[in-house]
Amino acid sequence: MQNQVMIAKQLQKEMPSSKPSVVEPIRLTRDDWLDEAFRAVVAGGFDQVKVLSIAEKLKVTRGSFYWHFADHADLIGSLLMRWKLQQLAFDAHLQANQSGDPIKDLNYVVDEAFSQAGAAMENLRFEQAMRAMSQQNAEAAQMLVEVDAARIALLQSKFFLIVNDQKKSRDLAALLYLAIVGSYQALSRPVNPPNIRQYLQGLISHYLVEKQVG
């Protein structure tokens, strides 16, 4: 009988435990926090970027925030800087695209500018919120100046290959940029007519791009 008890105990030790194993939480990256902050801005502006709210959505403690950021201002500054670097990289990609057909290349820029607003206008809404905040935030205002200048320089270089005139290409670039920004405002309305993007993009392409030939 004693031997049977000892054997039973030995079998229990060898059998796998039925207790659930503890899963170590995945440590969030800096970009995880920035992505959630971005979504908060898109949903309600920069006032909605709150560390505690973001931590709750990410299902982590507030303390984990400080692994990546010094404070709330550091989070906002990092979010703005990431946006700026993304925009400048996007412009560099468009600048490098050269097919040998300057009209085609400029139309490609226009198409990409509309697409860059985001499938749900999320990128557009973020930029609109940033422009609103720039009235009180010098850092945001300076970044917008730099990005706007880079965008207009891109458009000017594309127009110059078509019209071969520095002043005209500069003026056309300003007009095209204003047209795109105005289109963004129209696209951000809660309700729009069907195919509004195609309509606006077609107008811009026809009157500001293709009309420059000849």
Q: Where residue 194 sits, what CATH number does that domain have?
A: 1.10.357
58-81 tens-digit pLDDT = 999 888 899 999 999 999 999 999
pLDDT, mean of residues 197-205: 94
- Average pLDDT over the chain, rounded to an integer: 88
Decide if 95 is inside a domain: yes
Please count the structural domains in the chain: 1
Checking if the pLDDT of 47 tops 50, the result is yes
Higher-confidence residue of 212 and 18: namely 212
The DSSP line for 12-70 is HHHSPP-SPPPPPPPPPPHHHHHHHHHHHHHHH-GGG--HHHHHHHHTS-GGGGGGT-S
Q: Provide the pLDDT confidence category of residue 112 given band limits of 50, 70 and 90.
A: very high
- Which residue range is the domain that position 110 belongs to? 82-212
Quick one: pLDDT at residue 11? 43
Residue 191 in domain: yes
Half-sphere exposure of 204 (CA within 13 A, CB side): 27
Residue 138: inside a domain: yes
The answer to whether residue 33 sits within a structural domain is no
Quote the pLDDT of residue 34: 98
- Please indicate, yes or no, if residue 14 is contained in any of the structural domains: no
pLDDT tens figures, 133-166: 999 999 999 999 999 999 999 999 999 999 999 9
H-type alpha helices, the chain: 2-14, 30-44, 51-58, 72-96, 102-115, 122-133, 138-163, 166-187, 196-204
Confidence class of residue 214 from pLDDT cuts 50, 70 and 90?
low
For the question of whether the overall pTM of this predicted structure is more than 0.75, the answer is yes
Of the pLDDT bands very low, low, confident and very high (cuts 50, 70, 90), residue 213 is: confident
Answer yes or no: is 91 within a domain: yes
- The answer on pLDDT for 5 being more than 90 is no
